[in-house]
Structure formats: C-alpha cells, structure tokens
Chain A
Amino acid sequence: MLCFVALAVFLFLSIFSAKYRPLARRALDCVAKKATLRPCDTGLDEEIKAASLSGIMKASPGAAAFANRHFEAFSLFFTLIFFLSLFFAAQGLYNFVIYGNCNGFEGGFCIYSGIQNELLLKAPSSLQGVSAGNPNANITVIEFGCYTCPYTKAAEPDVLRLISEYGNRIYYVYKAFPLPTHPYSREAAIAALCADDEGKYWEYRAALFDRQQDVMQNGTAALQGIARSLNLTAFGSCYSSGKHNDQLQKSTDECTASGIYGTPTFFVNGKAFAGPGAVNDAGKEVKGLLGH
C-alpha cells in the first residue's frame, strides 16, 4: 500500500535530486502492478517496511513489534490519509484558481494566500470609507469587510478593541466588500451607509453583526427592523433611493484592484494581513509601529 505514497513522495523529490528517480521508477512499477491486481515484486514495499521498523525499533522495540503486527493497517491508514490530503489539496488549489481562496466563496485562512499576501495584495490608494480615529495619525489601518461574513463578524471585537485602545494614534478606515456568496451582503452595506448618514453607523454596524443570521435569512426586513430600533427616520428613503450605490461600487472596485480574495483583510500602513488571525497580526503590527 505504501507504494502509492512512496510514488508521490519520490516523484516530488525526483524534481530536486536525481538519486530519487530510480526509487520513483520502482514505486511507479509497484503502483502499476497493484493497480492491475498483481503482486508488487519490486521489493520497495519491503524496504520501506524494514526501514520504518528499524527506525521505530531504535526508539522502542515494543512499538516496532506493534507496528509490525499492524503494518498493513498502518499502511492503509497512511495511504487513505495521503489520498484525502491529495484530494483536499487539489480542491483547495482549484478554489484558489477559481475564487482566489482555497476555501472557495467562504474565504478564510488559505495556505496558498500566504504567498499571495506578500506578492499580490496591494494597498488601496484612497482612504475613503467609514472611519474612526485621527485622520492625521501616522498609522493607517484599513479593513476590507463584509457585514454578512462570519469571519468579519468574528474579527469585530478585536477591531473595536484596536480602535478604542489606540484612539487618535491610528486612523481606521472600513471599506465594504460585499461578497456575492454571502446573502444580502450588498444590502447590508447600503444600509450601514444610510445609518452613517444619520450619525448612527457604529450602532447600526454593531446590530448588523449581532443579528447577522437574521439579516442573512430575512434581508431587507431585518435591515429595516434594525433601523427602526435605532430610530433612523430617513432610512427608508435612503435605502430605496440608491444614493450610496456609486460609493459602494467604488469601494468594491478598490477591493478588486487590491487583489482581495476574502474578508476581512487588513492593511496597516500598506502591509497586508489576511486570514483568520489577520486582525491580531494587524494589531501586533500597529503595536510594533508605535514602539510598544
């Protein structure tokens, strides 16, 4: 069974060193025979078993005996793990190519994104958006978020802590990036801008995240309900007028231009942070810049 794993490993190593190529050929021969229900007679599986057991034996003879007794089961387990890993890696790669994130529409942490963060994400050129803090501060924190994204919601407490902790020493800007995969994300972004018109953005934003499930299920009705609870008198006309459509489109275009593939994504003085720990990393960056 281990021939399957060996083939992938040796093929990969063969790219870097010719000494692994004969082993890859033997593994391929073994896999071809196994696939056609013939016994593998290359001896490679025996060599792998001997090397594995010898290594274990040096550490613990008892463990080696146990591994020997159940070697086929272990082989099967590792082979299954290998194929599952291979499947998920391929699925992630497909999502990354199609959606820009290995998790697909949902976004979130993506191993491939680590490379992309450094290479492809570009800080937005404008500071337009809902803001907090000191516009003249030396440190600018830009968040690209989506009100109906669970990851943006999860980051929200840390975002609020960042704003309250550093106050006027930073300038925080929120740019809405309504992801089409999240229900009513665009409507929520428009509603938040309408609330901002009446000076109740932060209250409305807090309510949006609090009632995220309700918004995602009931859409406009839920958004209007939040507005009523906050006594937003012009909300209805603002929401239906389309007056913030251009502003939202501009924000979305900025996101696309920056190469954002998931929310939330932060930029601290132009340096990108994406993924589940992004807000904490951004906080550390701020702390570092302030010399704390």
Chain B
Amino acid sequence: MLASLSKKLLPLLALAAFVAIWQFAAGFWPPELFPSPLIVAAALRELADSGVLWSNIAISLARFAGAYLAAIVIAVPLGLFLGRNPRCRQAIDPLVQVLRPISPIAWFPLAVLWFGIGNAPAVFIIFLAAFYPVLLSTVSAVVGIPPVYLKVAANFGARPGAVFLRVIIPAAFPGIMVGLHIAVGTAWIHLVAGEMLGAQSGLGFMIVDARNFLRTDWIMAGMLVVGVLGLCINLGMRRFELWLGRRWGGVA
C-alpha cells in the first residue's frame, strides 16, 4: 500500500521540486532571458488561444506520422529481405555501417538543396532517423530466428510463402517491435531539429520563430509541448506493445 503510494507520489514530488527550483532560479534573471514557470504557462495559454499551437502540433504530428510510416514501410521489408539473404547482407553491411553514423542533421544542407524549404527536408530527416533502427533490428530479428522453427516448417512441407508469412514474420515480430519503439524516440527527437532548420511550420519552426522575436517564454512553451507529446507517443507505443504482447502469447 505504502509502496504503491510512494511509487505514484515520488515522481509527482520530483516534478513539483523541479518546478519550484525553476521558479526560484528564474528570480535571478530578467524574464526575457529566463522566464519562470508561471510566465511559460501564460505563454502556453496565449499560443493555445491564438490557435498557433494547435496548427503547429497538427503539422508536426502529420510530418512525424508520414515519415515514420514511410521508414517502416521501406525498412521492414528491406530488413526481412536482407535477413533472409546472407550474401546481400554481407554486401550491404559495410555501406550501412558507413551511412548509419552520419547524423540525419548532417543531411540537412543537401536535403534543402534537393527538396527546397518546406515539408520535404523535415520529413526526410525524420525518415532517416527512423530508418536505421528499424532496418537493423529487423535484420537481427530475422537472423536470430531459432533454426528449429525453420526446420520444423521445412519438415512439414510448408511452402516458401507460408514459411515467410507464418513463421519468419511472426518469429521476427518481437524483435521488429523493439526497433519500432527505438525509432519512435529517435524520429521524434529529429522532428524538432528538422523543422527548426528547413520548415516554415510545425513545433520546431515555432521555437525558431519565437527566437527571432526573442520570446523566450514561447521557446520554453514549445519545448514543453515537444516533451509532453514525446512522452504521450512513447506511452501509446508501450500500450500498443502490451496489447500485442497479450495477443502474441506473451513473447513480445
């Protein structure tokens, strides 16, 4: 009883302490430089009332969803293919190992040159951020399938199509989900970066735009929204995994 209460209470306490320290520290600087939580809350309200916040959230979420789904649609089938073809995997592996450490942000100048200012560079950067974790975890999930699963399928005479759909995909599924979860995080982090650099809308742009007007309260309000939305996406993802795990016989 006490343990469960403290489990719920402690995080709230830490949060309250954080806000209190913030409020205290903000007293030492002028509000234009370091706004207090109260000022940021007011700014948040201002942005919400004017509708700016909502339209930017909508745009950011749409970009995020589009780029993330595109990464999944390309990376999962490619990962399944590479996982099943050792030759192709060996051929492509060095290339992936060279491209992967390049931060998606580093692609930004080229992305703007190629796609112009607007949706495309931001979407491209989010796509890259999600692509590698999904690809690599899909490949390792397929490679890690216990050989006995495939031996059994071969022994019963299952056709290649059935082996793929009924053995390889479900066996690799928990591993693929791990990649999808990691990718949600990295993609969301890069969303803001992508929008700060090349877009004319979205939460990242909102933060850059606020800087141009020296509205530190709007900057912090924007950061707060990014953080809370990221948390919500993560929680949603975990819910989804739990639900899948139950359907999957507890192996996910």
A-B complex is real = no
Residues on B facing A (Cβ under 8 Å): none
Residues on A facing B (Cβ under 8 Å): none
